[in-house]
Amino acid sequence: MSSTTAPAGAAQPWYAAFPEPKDAAPAALSRDAVLQRLRDSAPGDRAFVLVDVRRADHEGGTVRGSLNLPAQSLYPSLPTLHRVFKAAGVREVIWYCGSSRGRGTRAAAWFRDYLEAQGETAIASVILSEGIKGWAAAGPEFVAWMDGYDASVWGEKKDDA
């Protein structure tokens, strides 16, 4: 049995119901680059959208203005998302999860595959490097750009001094 084959009767991961992305390493943006874009643009005048693909672990906050589209139900919605983003003039979709190494990467790759299949070249699909955990851990200037921030979720310790 290969290492990629689950034993008989074993539960399959949620993403096994969907095709594997063609390239599992989508382009990435640093949190500094994303923060600069947020600072440089008005909320109603952005050519990018942030998509948080967490589900039950959405607590603790999210990058300000992000959509929450859980990865587990995302794949069937790709055509609709493409139409909505295109109609809204979105030029870049920035996906993230906790670390952007699982769900965020898979979502960005799926959307990129969909865009390529449509011949769509005006919209990019990228990930936020280090995800929301990296964002929340980067300090006060990043935390200030979070909606619903809850320090206890991120394990911040009280200063003992």
Domains and CATH numbers, the chain: 20-147 (3.40.250.10)
pLDDT of 62: 94
| Average per-residue pLDDT for the chain | 89
- pLDDT confidence of residue 57: 67
> Does 26 have pLDDT greater than 70?
yes
For 80-135, the pLDDT digits (tens) are: 999 999 999 999 999 999 998 899 999 999 999 999 999 999 999 999 999 999 99
Q: What is the pLDDT of residues 120-149, one digit of tens each?
A: 999 999 999 999 999 999 999 999 999 999
Band of the pLDDT at 1, cuts 50, 70, 90?
Answer: very low
User: 51 or 45: which carries more pLDDT confidence?
Assistant: 51
Q: Can you list the pairs that 142-148 forms with residues at least 24 positions away whose Cβ atoms lie under 8 Å?
A: 142/31, 142/35, 143/61, 145/35, 145/38, 145/63, 145/64, 146/61, 146/62, 146/63, 146/64, 147/61, 147/62, 147/63, 147/64, 147/65, 147/66, 148/59, 148/60, 148/61, 148/62
